[in-house]
Amino acid sequence: MDFGAFDALTARFFYFVSLLLFFLSTTYEKDMNSVSSTDTKNHLLATIVVMAATILLRPSHGFQQQLGVVTRVAARSGVSPSYSLRIGADSASQLLALQHNTRSFSRLYSSSSDDNASEKARILFLGTPDVAATSLKSIYEQSQRPDSQYEVVGVVTQPPKRRKRRGKEIPSPVGLVAEELGLYTLCPEKARDADFLDELENQVRPDLCITAAYGQYLPKRFLALPKFGTLNIHPSLLPRWRGSSPVQRSLEAGDNPVGVSVLFTVSKMDAGPIVAQETLEIDENEQATTLLPKLFDIGTKTLIDALPKVIKGDITMDTATVQDESLVAEAGMIESSEGQLWPTKMSARECHNRVRGFSMWPGTFLYFQIGDDESKDPVKVKVVETRVSEATADPTDIIEIGPKKGDGLRLVCSDGSVLEMLKVQPATRNVMDAKSFVNGLQGNTVRWLSGLDIVEE
């Protein structure tokens, strides 16, 4: 038999299998009630696809052609295109990937006859970075408790990013966790895509959506889908710091305490009614890098505590606390140019707070003139860690290390306040403490430059 004939035959066979899957998972649900458990039903559906794939992936036929047929079957079966198959060294690895996705598929489409399971609210989680991945794990673990009133039926995250060198696509942190947990995953380019919204409406059918740093605007059609609404974890004490950079802006402003809000999502960004809030007192040297995970951990616990009341209808869009519009502060997107420190315009405290707030991105920097030869190019130095000195001094552009052990590089601002730079990173060098930086100067003096005459390349 030539492969063309084989491909046509198997394509028809797999089309029949895909129809059978839909048939079993919907029309004949009642007939499957004799199966002892939901997991058994799900595994039965998965086994049908895997057994069929085993026939197709015989070594006697070309792997790439086989892969194309299986991919078409996965697409017809509703398996997420982003995670349907992973190209491996042999057919066995393909079977494992397919089995993983058929488990996700059967979990998504099964409507359990178990009385307890049928009462559970269907939750769709949306998120992208590491902090959201941690939230997903916590919510999923709670959903596995026997007394849980909800189940996680799917995940939405940003599309995988492609590595520059090898061209391999890397899923987001949330995507990786969803794969690990066997959760059905969607990665739309845009949340307003019609095909994506159709799939949510007709197949996923969420009762409640949860967003945690998803990174895309949600259209009205999306917000209208879940009957219990969409909840968002936002790391600020709303209505203060609405927008994309709440932690950065709150630290830059010197806020203490800070906090996290759980709120219903509406069309206007971060303007929905508040379900719950928690405050957190922080150290004056706390940076965004460490604060953001803390706030998301607190926010996730607060959300989990509120979920039963939301599902029961005790907390709704109408009963949650409306935000006071007169107290709104916007947390606008940060520009990379904001990372430059200006000792002529800023106090030591203002410089310190910006270092804290921008520790994740874009970082903060100064320009140093090393030595007395002004013809040499200035050096761009990233300011990694600072503290505000209790001392004051006459304004100067000379930078010197303090006299005590552990002192930083002393930057005197125009108002006489002193900022100690504890860790810095000269361009093309590693991060180093103040003493290491001074040891590398070989006796040269250092001056900070205002930056007014310096043009970024």
pLDDT digits (tens, 9 = 90+) for 108-157: 554 433 444 458 999 999 999 999 999 999 999 999 999 999 999 999 99
Least confident segment among 34-38, 303-307, 338-342, 451-455: 34-38
Residue 69 — very low, low, confident or very high, per pLDDT cuts 50/70/90? Answer: very low
The answer to whether the CB of 226 falls within 8 A of the CB of 196 is no
Tokens 């991945």, residue located: 133
What pLDDT score was predicted for residue 162? 75
Given this model, what pLDDT does residue 67 score?
36
pLDDT at 187: 97
Domain 336-449 superfamily per CATH? Formyl transferase, C-terminal domain (3.10.25.10)
CB distance 353 to 343 below 8 Å: no
Query: Could you give the residue range(s) of every CATH 3.10.25.10 domain in the chain?
Result: 336-449
Q: Are 232 and 321 in contact (CB under 8 A)?
A: no
Q: What is the pLDDT of residues 175-202, one digit of tens each?
A: 999 999 999 999 999 999 999 999 999 9
**Mean pLDDT value of segment 393-407:** 93
74 has pLDDT over 50: no
Give residue 169's pLDDT band: very low, low, confident or very high (50, 70, 90): confident
**Token pair for residue 394?**
């006459």
